[in-house]
Structure 1
Amino acid sequence: MSAATPHGQTPYYFVPAPSQFPVLTAIAMLLVIFGAGQWVNGHGWGAWVTLAGFLFWAWVLQGWFRQAISESEGGLYGKRIDISFRWSMSWFIFSEVMFFGAFFGALYWTRLHALPNLGSLDNAILWPDFKAVWPSAAPGATGSPAGIVEPFTTMGPWPLPTVNTALLLTSGVTLTIAHHALLANNRGKTILWMWITVLLGATFLCVQGYEYMHAYRDLNLKLSSGAYGSTFFMLTGFHGFHVFVGMLMLLFITIRLMKGHFTPERHFGFEGAAWYWHFVDVVWLGLYIVVYWA
């Protein structure tokens, strides 16, 4: 326990005192879920409850993270805590792999199993006008014989998705340069390349926002555009959210670097954010191939 550790020495294993942050986080999440549930069911006030929940959640998290940073900079985190953090981040990223795997699996199953089965002879009586082609871009001609899906145009790989691919791959390179600069104890160079990485992530989000505007305005491609529209926006939308979260992580790491935190020997906060960002890059490469090209 930390209380039995002599002053100035790192404890064998730091055990934090009882904290109010977990229960406050649970309250914030309850507000978000309750508000969102009321919002989608037509109650306008649900949007304000959802917003209040997110704001309360952000306030709780900043306090929680501030406490963790204070403990780390106070020398309370030793080697065993570092190992614990590494395992925790590894399992968190694994859970994210499974999260995206579910959506990639839904796309795979829809294209290679559900669609051919619906267009088979077994379903010809039920859906005589159905044609098992991907994507279902026009009612009556493809996957919407009942005309419930408005005609739309698919999103190709050029130019916006390819530009975003270049942005993310470049950000992975700049982040690696920053990491090597930190290992060399060149803090100024580290901060410079970290700001470039954050800027590239923000640019990616701006380009994706413009891509969504183009999809809705010019292509009539929406979340309701059949299986293609739903899988397209679920995959790209959740990935964009993860880019936003990763960009915030890198931003706060950069601010901590400017405050003098991290050393070449102790910088798992930096490494954990870098792991997450590289994971986001890899997911995008898979998404770029199977959603925009395939």
Structure 2
Amino acid sequence: MNIRATDTKAVPTGFAPASLSDKAATYALDAAKSIGRLAMRRVKRTADVVDSEYNLLHWQRTLSEKSWTRSASIVDFIAPRNSASDLRKVDNQICRVAADDYYRYRARALGELLARYTGDATDIIELGAGCGVNLLSLHLNHPDWRLRGFDIAPNGIAAGREIAAYYGLSDRISLDRIDLTDGTDPSYSAIRDKVVFTYFCIEQIPYDVRKVVDNIIAARPKRVINIEPTTELLNFTSPRDIVSFLYIRSVDYQTQLFSTLDDYERQGRVRILARDRMPFAPTIHNDGFLYCWEPT
């Protein structure tokens, strides 16, 4: 399979590549942490674990802290001041970048990336939207788009609705609930004939990947863009990909989405329009791949 890197020349950064010694030391430490997780307590990413980590922890904290009320702009909210540097992937290079610089870059890069695959669509839906940070990023770059997010976490949805209202965007950004593993969920009707994307969402449901893909196909979206990490497409001659493999296995993320889509293309159920490796990532161990496809 030929996985090509996405061209992001339209998003200049000026970030310098990390040194070989910096990468080697960071890779070794990251790999050791993942091996420790595998040895001590293998995570099993069940629905209860995901609910505990996100709805009852991350999104509950987001909702209670309401940091958007202390942010002067959407950019300040999605990229709050944080000078802590780490190795991150920027324009297909590993660079040592401060967190706030990276997330400002990411907002632009995500908008430009998705625009390449959405065609002329202006109604865009994210499945697994959390509190809508991706939707806010897309609005900054495409204010003409009408954006809708779905998630299973009530606290994420509540936070997202408050954020959209605070910035006066309730008419452009909306959030509602969906259970992607339930093919009878009424919210699936909203994606019919729409362009849909996921961003590090299906990673959280490793035991229901095929079911979720079947449910999405049955809902008949116009186009789907999956941006997800995986072990399926890694290059094991690359030290960083070995680090990624260890991390993904240690936290029990999905490992079958893209092979499922390839299988369904052979069966004639989907048509894959693009296979790309993501040019940006916030860590060295968990960058994603992009498949753009349509039901046949």
Bin of the TM-score, shorter chain as denominator length = under 0.3
Rg (Cα) greater in structure: 1
Q: Which one has a larger percent strand, Structure 1 or Structure 2?
A: 2
After TM superposition, the score normalised by the length of structure 2 is 0.24
Structure-1-length-normalised TM-score? 0.24
Q: Which has the higher contact order (CA 8 A, sep 6+)?
A: 2
Q: Which has the higher helix share?
A: 1
